Chain A
Amino acid sequence: MIPRHICVLNFTRMGDLIQSSPLLKSYRIAYPEAKLSLIVLEPFRAVGERLPMCDDVMGFDLDHFEPLLNSAGSDLTAAYKVLSNFIQRATERPVDLLVNLSHTPLSATIASLIGANSMIGLMRTPDGQLTVSSEWINYLFSVMQERSLNPFNLAEIYLRLGPGTTTTPSLSFHVSQVDQQEAQRLLSSVTVDINVPYVVLQPGASSDQRRWPESSFAELACLLKSNGVQVVVVGTKAESSLAERIVRMSAGAAVSLCGRTSIGSLSAILLSATRLVSNDTGTMHLAAAVGTPTISLFLGPASAKDTAPLGNGHIVIETDLECAPCSYNMTCANPICREQVSAEDILPFCLYTGDDVFNSARCMKGVRVYQTSNDIERLRLNSLNKPHTGYSSSVLSFYRCFWDMLLTGAAVVEGTAEWYEGEDNSSWMEGISELERIFDRAERLLAELYTESASINRQTDTLKDCLKQQIVWQEMLRAFMQKYPQLAAFPRFLLVKAVTARSHRLEDYLVDMTETVDLFHHGVSLLKTLSANLQNEDQLYACCE
């Protein structure tokens, strides 16, 4: 059935929201007549409103909601009204297809309250159990814990949730005339001449570990100024003092509009800028979306592979340290990655293009410098200073092929096995054999559960007890992941599926686990076939495409 109303729920922040625009576009192309609604957190409603393919954007305002639920002075009556009205507004027109791109239980509950004939993402079943309806969402959950093995950019994963329309994953963002006028007013207020080139700096980030030092930003501002380039610092209100310090340290080489921009005026400021220099931030994606070249530094837990800006010609820099990128939620006592890049390193990227850029990149030590290019359904990070070979890149290419085949059903590759020269693939093959043995165990335990299911007392406690046996093969997978880290991505995916299986009713559990064990079987076969045929990345992709 062709959906007449598609609703996308995205409770992420600005960057992720912009990265979902290729997916929204693919829905717009596949269903040009459908109404496309977007539900976002209120602070990012202005972002949603500027995504040109959306017909309607609703914001959920937590600021109004929080005081109603504080333990002192909570007001359940008012809170109920707020939520009830919100759901009523969202369901004024029946939704045919609902896509939930968020990963919190609350987004699942909202999705289920809105309801739709067809739902994609995390949701609740009518009886309230959490469930995931798309394998790519399961993939997204699992890959957060196995980031080094993830070959996809976030926008690419989002795109795989869509209708499968073949499009080049490019970002979209509409900058209005009002936005541009507001930007001009703001720039004039800090004496920036819009007829003279200016570079925008975004020194803030979601955590300190992800920030290039403010002294480096200040030094870059001085260098740019001496080259006749104006410098504007942007950021949120909370980042104002950081911006002020940079302005002070640069002795006025930079001016600050930090905390003064709206999303609209920010997008217009970026649109007119010659470059944006940024950490991995929403501003970076916004600049990429309005077509302004970016130079971005991926520090701390940020990974270029996961969230580099979509588009052609963006410069992406990450450190070459073994520990990079670090895990989420870890605190680093020695964040040396922040010191690996100097202002002098960055300057040429702000001033020049073409060979001058390549020459600058080649001189840089201790970092990997990439330039982005968009192919069909794929963002490539083209290395400017290191050969694009090596074990990790071949494993990533392998996984790109594997996941597309397993989860989207791309055709199986034919060819002959050939690993890169010098690589030892014996443990890889040994690992696959072990995975096969774990699968046998999982299949046997599930068969036993089927046999016992008739005699099981359906009381919840008893159910939990009788499902304990199923944990055996999941524990085996956990041990396996320790032993074969390069093969951990698929077991992690299976574990996410097993852990999120509906377990309130035995019937539901059996359905979900059967699906998981079937996918286990399919995945192991695919791993074997692909490994036997593995030759090189280009050949793999030639076959995939």
Chain B
Amino acid sequence: MMAESLITSVVADSSSLEAVLAAADLPTIRAKNSMPTLAFKGVRLHSSVDPVAEAEQIVANCLSELTTALQSAKGQPITVFVLGAGLGYLIGALEKSLGDSKYPLAQVKVVCIEAESEVARKAIQLQVWKSCSLDVKWLVGSSCIESALLLQTAAARFLLTGTSSYRMNKPVYDGIIERMSGTKRAERPMRILVPTPLYGGSLPIAHYCAAAFEKLGHQVERLDLTEYYAAFHQAENITRQPQHRKSLQGMLTAYLAEVIVARALDFQCDLVWAVAQTPLTPQALLELRRRQVHTALWFVEDYRLFGYWQELAQHYDAVFTIQRGSFHDELKALGVKHVEYLPCAADPEVHYPRELSVNEQARFGSDLSFVGAGYHNRQETFAQLQLTSLKIWGNDWPPDVSASRWVQEQGRRINTEESAKIFSATKINLNLHSSPNHQGVNPYGDFVNPRTFEIAACGGFQLVDQRSELGSHFKAEEEMVVFQNTEELPELIEYYLSHETERLQIAERSRQRVLSEHTYVHRMTQALDFLQQQLPRLRDRKRGPNYVSSLLQAAGKDRELAEFLSAFDSDQEVDLDQIVARIKIGEGKLSRPEGIFLLMKEFRDWGREKGVIA
């Protein structure tokens, strides 16, 4: 009988304690390296050769994402939820990986979630992670979903999957992922290529879109083209002749467009998702259409200011816009068949409230601040306001305008993390949409800029200028305070500085509105729904033969094959090299399916050598 105190020391709540106490004791089996493993409900939960190495591999596979999450947490605690923890081998693997990194172990809490009480009981009994210095708690049994949701915090969490235990109870764990992220994973994942622009405001949006597609369960490849920016920029140093410069940059764009085509074909994607300034050309788009690869453009720019869409839009299968009305008419007149309004959004894993240190609060905090570039209307507005304090963050503020005295840190560019800190630490964030042609507020302004959503998602309070589309996203006064012209600003500032509770309530309501309706996941869900409605080939696409689920279906009664494939996620599309990479030569008897996949690879390699297999 296991001591209750032993269980109590590691379980996270009373229902887990009850589940473990009531669970039957399972017999373990030994892996080749003599570590214990379990066969449960016909599934081997850990490698029969080396469970430790297997766990290290699972952690290694997601290490870069974990590192990013740790980096984003900026020293704040982060909870790693291990979904389908099995005997807990991932804990040791996590400790080893973190020990090799620069992040302190104290920053990480581990919550092991195991739906099978018997498995968790055996894990707690064996404690293969015993000497580990990570803070580890277990959530066990049928109520683990609800308990997990109670434990999660908005930003500082990381979901670790990939174990056989995860795959065994995938619907349960996917339920946790869906509930935590508020997303429903796609039943038939697409392969989506997201090429990035080389630079500029659309660049982070491409990444937010890619992350959203991933959260929705699609297979995404990000094609990061930023490394070509230096070459693009270099053209400006080569010649002062605008025509020649344009020609050089055009050649590079044509090359990059071919890079995108090449990746799209190699990746065999269903969709290329481009944002404004992604380097695609009419020729490349035609080639993609000819090769039956769908393309979509999200034009996250003001169409009146940036006119390059006129050369490209008709070559995309669909165009999404942040403006509607006459823009849609113009696009249709160009021959674009599928046009849809898709407003900006925020990514709650990037834009979330930050807790600042005292020093950071002093640096980034203020009563009033503005983040953004020094467009004409902003210079005018801030010059007119009789302010005693204002912090302006951002570039392109000419030194000779009166507002320049408020510009912080020599007008350098502000990165995403810093802007999130500023939004969080500022009592009133001014948000004045840019306009090169107006004084103060643009009376014809329609779309809502990303900053509106980002400030809200960071829990910041903002005063935003009137936009015709704003009312469809936020309730005026309740969720967002709007000014019609700059003259209204001083009074509003004074009022909200002195009414903290009201200010904080509005900020919180706007944050909740963003989380429930205006995230990139919401937008990408809408976009993909639209595309599948409009593009029959995308809607009717069959699940490819290389999905693990298809292979499993083909396996029929072949239990050996089913067991071999249990190492893969059934929603995963696999290629031959991925499968063969799992086969370990010289480490125990190969199964028949392993032999057949090895043979398949040898046939392919032989065929490639002979030039008969492409």
Q: How far is the CB of B319 from the nearest CB of chain A, in Å?
A: 28
Q: Are A76 and B545 in contact (CB under 8 A)?
A: yes
- List, in ascending order, chain B residues with CB within 8 A of A105's CB: 602
Cross-chain contact of B612 among A62, A74, A83, A106 (Cβ < 8 A): A62
Q: Are B600 and A69 in contact (CB under 8 A)?
A: yes
CB 8 Å contact bits of B576-599 with A (1 = contact, 0 = none): 100100011111111011111111
Q: Are B607 and A113 in contact (CB under 8 A)?
A: no
Residues in A98-137 with C-beta less than 8 Å from chain B: 104-106, 109-110, 112-113, 124, 126-129
What residue in chain A is nearest B588 (Cβ atoms)?
A127
Q: Are A110 and B268 in contact (CB under 8 A)?
A: no
Please measure, in the bound complex, the distance between the C-alpha atom of A65 and the C-alpha atom of B612, giving whole angstroms: 10
Q: How far is the CB of A460 from the nearest CB of chain B, in Å?
A: 8
**Is A451 in contact with chain B by the CB < 8 A criterion?**
no
A75-B545, A75-B546, A81-B554 known; A126 and B602 CB under 8 Å?
Answer: no
- List, in ascending order, chain B residues with CB within 8 A of A460's CB: 586
Q: Are A78 and B545 in contact (CB under 8 A)?
A: yes
Please measure, in the bound complex, the distance between the C-alpha atom of A80 and the C-alpha atom of B593, giving whole angstroms: 9
**Is A461 in contact with chain B by the CB < 8 A criterion?**
no
Please measure, in the bound complex, the distance between the C-alpha atom of A105 and the C-alpha atom of B585, giving whole angstroms: 13
Cross-chain contact of A80 among B554, B585, B589, B614 (Cβ < 8 A): B554
Q: Are A109 and B604 in contact (CB under 8 A)?
A: no
Q: Are A69 and B613 in contact (CB under 8 A)?
A: yes
Q: Are A76 and B612 in contact (CB under 8 A)?
A: no
Q: How far is the CB of A88 from the nearest CB of chain B, in Å?
A: 10
Please measure, in the bound complex, the distance between the C-alpha atom of A83 and the C-alpha atom of B579, giving whole angstroms: 16
Cross-chain contact of A504 among B558, B587, B598, B606 (Cβ < 8 A): B587
A79-B600, A80-B597, A109-B595 known; A126 and B589 CB under 8 Å?
Answer: yes
Cross-chain contact of B585 among A77, A110, A127 (Cβ < 8 A): A127
- List, in ascending order, chain A residues with CB within 8 A of B596's CB: 80, 83-84, 87, 113
Q: Are B600 and A83 in contact (CB under 8 A)?
A: yes
Cross-chain contact of B595 among A62, A65, A113, A508 (Cβ < 8 A): A113
Q: How far is the CB of A441 from the nearest CB of chain B, in Å?
A: 27
- List, in ascending order, chain A residues with CB within 8 A of B574's CB: 76
**Is B331 in contact with chain A by the CB < 8 A criterion?**
no
What residue in chain B is nearest A91 (Cβ atoms)?
B592
Please measure, in the bound complex, the distance between the C-alpha atom of A104 and the C-alpha atom of B609, giving whole angstroms: 12
A75-B545, A76-B600, A104-B606 known; A70 and B268 CB under 8 Å?
Answer: no
- List, in ascending order, chain B residues with CB within 8 A of A66's CB: 607, 612-613
Give the number of chain A interface residues (Cβ < 8 Å).
35
Q: Are A72 and B265 in contact (CB under 8 A)?
A: yes
**Is A334 in contact with chain B by the CB < 8 A criterion?**
no
**Is A206 in contact with chain B by the CB < 8 A criterion?**
no
- List, in ascending order, chain B residues with CB within 8 A of A109's CB: 595, 598-599, 602
Q: How far is the CB of A431 from the nearest CB of chain B, in Å?
A: 36
Number of A-B residue pairs having CB atoms within 8 Å of each other in the complex:
104
Q: Are B599 and A72 in contact (CB under 8 A)?
A: no
Between B268, B554, B583, B596, the greatest number of chain A beta carbons within 10 A of the residue's beta carbon is seen for B596
A126-B589, A127-B588 known; A77 and B597 CB under 8 Å?
Answer: no
Cross-chain contact of B551 among A77, A87, A104, A124 (Cβ < 8 A): A77
Q: Are B592 and A69 in contact (CB under 8 A)?
A: no
Q: Are B546 and A77 in contact (CB under 8 A)?
A: yes
Please measure, in the bound complex, the distance between the C-alpha atom of A74 and the C-alpha atom of B605, giving whole angstroms: 14
Between A78, A104, A109, A112, the greatest number of chain B beta carbons within 10 A of the residue's beta carbon is seen for A109
**Is A71 in contact with chain B by the CB < 8 A criterion?**
yes
Please measure, in the bound complex, the distance between the C-alpha atom of A77 and the C-alpha atom of B590, giving whole angstroms: 20
Q: Are A69 and B604 in contact (CB under 8 A)?
A: yes
Please measure, in the bound complex, the distance between the C-alpha atom of A110 and the C-alpha atom of B597, giving whole angstroms: 11
Q: Are B607 and A505 in contact (CB under 8 A)?
A: no
Q: How far is the CB of A123 from the nearest CB of chain B, in Å?
A: 11
Between B575, B579, B602, the greatest number of chain A beta carbons within 10 A of the residue's beta carbon is seen for B602
Please measure, in the bound complex, the distance between the C-alpha atom of A460 and the C-alpha atom of B53, giving whole angstroms: 13
A80-B596, A109-B599 known; A129 and B586 CB under 8 Å?
Answer: yes
What residue in chain B is nearest A460 (Cβ atoms)?
B586
Give the number of chain B interface residues (Cβ < 8 Å).
41
- List, in ascending order, chain A residues with CB within 8 A of B613's CB: 66, 69-70
Please measure, in the bound complex, the distance between the C-alpha atom of A72 and the C-alpha atom of B264, giving whole angstroms: 11
Q: Are B600 and A80 in contact (CB under 8 A)?
A: yes
Cross-chain contact of A129 among B268, B558, B585, B599 (Cβ < 8 A): B585
- List, in ascending order, chain A residues with CB within 8 A of B553's CB: 77
Between B558, B593, B612, the greatest number of chain A beta carbons within 10 A of the residue's beta carbon is seen for B612
- List, in ascending order, chain B residues with CB within 8 A of A83's CB: 596, 599-600, 603
**Is A502 in contact with chain B by the CB < 8 A criterion?**
yes
Cross-chain contact of A106 among B587, B588, B592, B606 (Cβ < 8 A): B606
**Is B57 in contact with chain A by the CB < 8 A criterion?**
no
Please measure, in the bound complex, the distance between the C-alpha atom of A105 and the C-alpha atom of B609, giving whole angstroms: 13
Q: How far is the CB of B576 from the nearest CB of chain A, in Å?
A: 6
What residue in chain B is nearest A81 (Cβ atoms)?
B554
What residue in chain A is nearest B555 (Cβ atoms)?
A80
Please measure, in the bound complex, the distance between the C-alpha atom of A400 and the C-alpha atom of B230, giving whole angstroms: 67
Q: Are B604 and A128 in contact (CB under 8 A)?
A: no
Q: How far is the CB of B273 from the nearest CB of chain A, in Å?
A: 21
Q: Are B586 and A128 in contact (CB under 8 A)?
A: yes
Residues in B542-559 with C-beta less than 8 Å from chain A: 545-546, 550-551, 553-554, 558
Between A76, A129, A502, A504, the greatest number of chain B beta carbons within 10 A of the residue's beta carbon is seen for A76
Please measure, in the bound complex, the distance between the C-alpha atom of A76 and the C-alpha atom of B564, giving whole angstroms: 14
What residue in chain A is nearest B576 (Cβ atoms)?
A76
Q: How far is the CB of A107 from the nearest CB of chain B, in Å?
A: 9
Q: Are A128 and B598 in contact (CB under 8 A)?
A: yes
Q: How far is the CB of B265 from the nearest CB of chain A, in Å?
A: 7
Please measure, in the bound complex, the distance between the C-alpha atom of A74 and the C-alpha atom of B547, giving whole angstroms: 11
Please measure, in the bound complex, the distance between the C-alpha atom of A460 and the C-alpha atom of B605, giving whole angstroms: 25
Please measure, in the bound complex, the distance between the C-alpha atom of A496 and the C-alpha atom of B449, giving whole angstroms: 69
Q: Are A71 and B545 in contact (CB under 8 A)?
A: no
- List, in ascending order, chain A residues with CB within 8 A of B598's CB: 109, 128
- List, in ascending order, chain B residues with CB within 8 A of A75's CB: 545-546
Please measure, in the bound complex, the distance between the C-alpha atom of A69 and the C-alpha atom of B603, giving whole angstroms: 9
A76-B551, A83-B600 known; A127 and B592 CB under 8 Å?
Answer: no
Residues in A328-351 with C-beta less than 8 Å from chain B: none
Q: How far is the CB of B612 from the nearest CB of chain A, in Å?
A: 5
Q: Are A126 and B545 in contact (CB under 8 A)?
A: no
Please measure, in the bound complex, the distance between the C-alpha atom of A71 and the C-alpha atom of B546, giving whole angstroms: 12
Q: How far is the CB of B582 from the nearest CB of chain A, in Å?
A: 12
Q: Are A77 and B550 in contact (CB under 8 A)?
A: yes
- List, in ascending order, chain B residues with CB within 8 A of A505's CB: 586
- List, in ascending order, chain A residues with CB within 8 A of B583's CB: 128
Please measure, in the bound complex, the distance between the C-alpha atom of A70 and the C-alpha atom of B603, giving whole angstroms: 11
Cross-chain contact of A71 among B554, B587, B600, B614 (Cβ < 8 A): B614
Please measure, in the bound complex, the distance between the C-alpha atom of A81 and the C-alpha atom of B597, giving whole angstroms: 11
Q: How far is the CB of B269 from the nearest CB of chain A, in Å?
A: 12
- List, in ascending order, chain A residues with CB within 8 A of B594's CB: 128
Cross-chain contact of A70 among B550, B561, B587, B614 (Cβ < 8 A): B614
What residue in chain B is nearest A109 (Cβ atoms)?
B599
Please measure, in the bound complex, the distance between the C-alpha atom of A106 and the C-alpha atom of B580, giving whole angstroms: 14
Q: How far is the CB of B343 from the nearest CB of chain A, in Å?
A: 37
- List, in ascending order, chain A residues with CB within 8 A of B585's CB: 127-129, 504
Q: How far is the CB of A173 from the nearest CB of chain B, in Å?
A: 27
Please measure, in the bound complex, the distance between the C-alpha atom of A129 and the C-alpha atom of B598, giving whole angstroms: 12
Residues in A457-477 with C-beta less than 8 Å from chain B: 460
Please measure, in the bound complex, the distance between the C-alpha atom of A8 and the C-alpha atom of B614, giving whole angstroms: 30
What residue in chain A is nearest B554 (Cβ atoms)?
A77
Supply 11 further A-B pairs (C-beta < 8 A) apart from A70-B613, A76-B575.
A65-B607, A69-B604, A72-B265, A74-B546, A76-B574, A83-B599, A113-B595, A127-B585, A127-B590, A128-B583, A508-B586
A-B contact pairs, 11 of them (CB 8 A): A66-B607, A71-B614, A75-B546, A76-B546, A76-B575, A81-B554, A83-B603, A106-B606, A109-B598, A502-B586, A504-B587
Which residues of B line the A interface, CB within 8 A?
265-266, 268, 545-546, 550-551, 553-554, 558, 561, 574-576, 579, 583-590, 592-600, 602-607, 612-614
Task: Name the 7 nearest CB pairs between A and B, nearest first.
Answer: A504-B586, A106-B602, A128-B585, A77-B545, A75-B545, A69-B604, A109-B599
